[in-house]
A = this chain, B = another copy of it.
Amino acid sequence: VEIRVVEKVLGANDAIAAETRKLLAEHGVLMVNVMSSPGSGKTRLLQRTLARLSPDIAVAVVVGDICTTHDADRLAEGGTPVVQINTEPFGGDCHLAAHVVREAISGFDLGAFDLILVENVGNLVCPAEFDIGEDLRCVVLSVTEGEDKPVKYPLMFRVCDVALLNKIDLLPHLEYDRELALASIRSIHADIEIFEVSARTDLGLESWLDWLESKVYAKRDRR
């Protein structure tokens, strides 16, 4: 038994991602790939985003986890259509690949949606390597993870369009150098968008929502 070289696997992945991107463009649907370490607060952040996003934006969610439907259950609470991908049957894959996401969104009537939020598997390394056909890539970084993660995991911050610094409600209880953290992100990706937020208290969420909504409307207008 032999498997294709990694370059070919990535090539096949990219071809599927390109098809997905074309399909989403036809329907004017924006897809955002949300990535982070385990426990950065991705799910709560998406819950708060769903709760506060303009009601004229129709959202669907795709959630990737190795196993369990914990995150899907939480995200579906508000009535949003959610598809849970479990990668355990695929060898416990540590990332979402394009064919898995294509399969997940095939059940949605794309004409009925403006935005698909994809919560990737919790992993600051591998998901950054796989194009899933998204328009925008978002990395969530909890301030409890320290200031130096961008320079230690540079690919993730290089490929992302926006970084959400989460859990800023905990800052009074941490030794955290905010300027160092921001400089660390900018040293890898100078013009990345950065929003400092707390999904627990909604602090800073408004700027993130404004930015996201503007991207959704721009894509919808090109439909």
Contact = CB atoms under 8 A, between A and B. Distances in A.
Nearest to A155: B92
Contact of A39 (B3, B92, B149): B149
Interface size class of A (residues with CB under 8 A): 35 or more
Given A2-B5, A152-B70, A144 B39 contact: yes
A105 interface: no
The main secondary structure of chain A at its interface with chain B is loop
A143 B156 CA distance: 24
A151 interface: yes
Most B CB contacts (10 A, CB to CB) among A37, A70, A200 go to A37
Count identical subunits in the complex. Answer: 2
A3 B1 contact: no
A148 to B, nearest CB: 5
A185 to B, nearest CB: 14
Given A37-B38, A122-B153, A144-B167, 5 more contacts: A38-B124, A38-B149, A92-B125, A123-B126, A175-B200
Interface of A: 1-6, 37-39, 65-68, 70, 91-92, 94, 121-126, 142, 144-146, 148-149, 151-155, 167, 170, 173-175, 200
26 contacts: A1-B5, A2-B2, A2-B4, A6-B91, A38-B124, A38-B149, A38-B152, A38-B153, A39-B146, A39-B149, A66-B125, A66-B153, A67-B151, A70-B148, A70-B152, A94-B123, A94-B125, A121-B125, A122-B152, A122-B153, A123-B123, A125-B126, A126-B126, A144-B144, A144-B170, A170-B170
